[in-house]
Amino acid sequence: MTTLSTTSPTSRVTRPRGSSAPRPGGAGSRPRRAVATAAGTAVALTVLCILSLAVGSQPFDLPTVITALTAPDPASTAHTIIGGRVPRTVAGLLVGAALGLSGAVLQGVTRNPLGDAGLLGINAGASVAVVIAIFAAGVGSLTGYVWFALAGAAVATVVVFGLASIGPGGATPLKLAITGATVNAGLASIISGVLVTSQESFDAYRQWQIGLIAGRTWEQVAIVAPVLAVGAVLALLSAPALNGLALGDDVARGLGQRIGVTRALVCAGVVLLVGGATALAGPVAFVGLVVPHVVRVLTGPDYRRMLPLCVLLAPTLLLAADIVGRVIAPPGEVAVGVMTAVLGAPVFIALVRRRKLGAL
């Protein structure tokens, strides 16, 4: 006896071959996810900005903060304290955005998931220049640090990319990582050698190198802001070029890109971002390394979506770390550079365990 199947040929839904319709949760949902993430991050960043003004050794409620911003009273101690926290908050926004953006761009231009200003020796170059400024030139203000830090970051970038370009294959990701680590170690030894010979230089450098945005003034922010703005414009405009470089140099050339010019412009943006951020806050770790990986998981590898979200997410992390550092050890504070490492390291380890690190 033959049993007839009740399954109709039309009851089975088949995706046409070559169809570009997005699957649920697939790449087609990433633009919507990126927009939703950006909106949520913007709200979180706004809340953190308010908390940054309200939280500290002397906390204030929301009405007091609003009044201090809208109708400040010079005779009010509370308004004076809150007014002093405003440039600190703005410095956190600028430094965080600069580090997140520079980290994403470096990972793209080097095609290396460990591409970061700290690991590639750029932070160390800026730090050596600041040490020399303190030791040899007697520079003791941020106004002087800025130009030395920019020069040091530029020299370190040229040295790392120049040395990595020697030999067959050019500046491959592996050669850049090895060269950056080598240059980083060499510059660290120079810093140690100078500081051992001068107690005054050591005391001045120690306050800067742990990563601080506390005590920053409007004058200091105004010096660095134009430098960071130019670097951010160069970095954001490089997004299409970074998408091409992600396919490899040969493919990028086939698409009409001038690889040397592209890398030069991208590195110029990185130097301005890293040099300015390092001059303003000192070498802050993990922000430029961790944030691009988190964003890449959320948005995919398209740098046109990644870079703007890094601008939002990185200062969110930095301000959160700064706020936690204010309340974790009263009546003192823990420097933001220490807190970003404490908060960023577990996130980075989690990303590595999920094997998302190599998904560039």
Q: What tokens does 62 get?
A: 């929301």
Instruction: Say what the pLDDT of residue 246 is.
Output: 78
**Residue 56 lies inside a defined structural domain of this protein:** no
pLDDT at residue 78 greater than cutoff 70:
yes
Residue 71 has pLDDT above 70, yes or no: yes
Q: What is the average per-residue pLDDT within 189-204?
A: 80
Q: What is the pLDDT of residues 96-133, one digit of tens each?
A: 999 999 999 988 888 877 777 877 788 889 888 888 88
Confidence of residue 3 (pLDDT cuts 50, 70, 90): very low
- pLDDT tens for 217-233 read 898 899 899 999 999 99
Evaluate whether 198 touches 135 at the Cβ level (below 8 Å): yes
Q: Which residues contact 293 (CB under 8 A, 6 or more apart)?
A: 113, 348, 351, 356, 357
Residue 255 lies in a domain: yes
Residue 13 lies in a domain: no
Mean pLDDT of the 262-279 span:
86
Contact 270, 115 (CB under 8 A): no
In this prediction, residue 9 carries a pLDDT of 42
Amino acid at 94: L
Residue 270 lies inside a defined structural domain of this protein: yes
Pick from 268, 262, 273: which is nearest to 314 by CA? 273
- Top-confidence residue, 121 or 236: 236
> What integer pLDDT is reported at residue 66 of this predicted model?
93
Across the range 223-251, mean pLDDT stands at 87
| ∠ Cα 277 294 156 (to 5°) | 35
User: What does the pLDDT read at residue 8?
Assistant: 43
Pick from 1-10, 77-86, 168-177, 292-301 the range whose average pLDDT is largest: 77-86
What range defines the domain where residue 332 resides?
A: 79-353
The per-residue pLDDT for range 317-354, each reduced to its tens digit, is 999 999 999 988 877 888 888 888 888 778 777 767 76
Q: Which two tokens stand for residue 345?
A: 């390291």
Least confident of 51-55, 137-141, 274-278: 137-141
Residue 306 lies in a domain: yes
Q: What is the CATH number of the domain that holds 121?
A: 1.10.3470.10
Please tell me the distance from the alpha carbon of residue 114 to that of residue 357, in angstroms, as a whole number.
Answer: 9
Rounded to the nearest 5 degrees, what angle is found at the Cα of 212, between the Cα atoms of 152 and 201? Answer: 55
- Name the average pLDDT for the chain: 82
Q: How confident is the model over 29-48, as a mean pLDDT?
A: 86
Task: Give the number of other Cβ atoms within 10 Å of residue 176's Cβ.
Answer: 25
343 in a structural domain:
yes
Least-confidence region, from 62-71, 302-311, 333-342: 333-342
List, for residues 342-352, the tens digit of each pLDDT value. 887 787 777 67
In a domain, 322, yes or no: yes
Alpha-helix residue ranges (DSSP H) falling in 210-284: 218-237, 239-245, 249-254, 259-281
Tell me what percent of the residues of the chain surpass a pLDDT of 70.
88
Give residue 355's pLDDT: 55
Any domain includes 136? yes
The whole model's pTM is what?
0.83
Q: What is the CA radius of gyration of the chain?
A: 24
pLDDT at 29: 67
- Count of domains forming the chain: 1
Q: What is the rounded average pLDDT of the residues 298-322?
A: 92
Q: Which of 157, 163, 172, 162 is nearest to 123 (CA)?
A: 157
pLDDT the model gives residue 28: 56
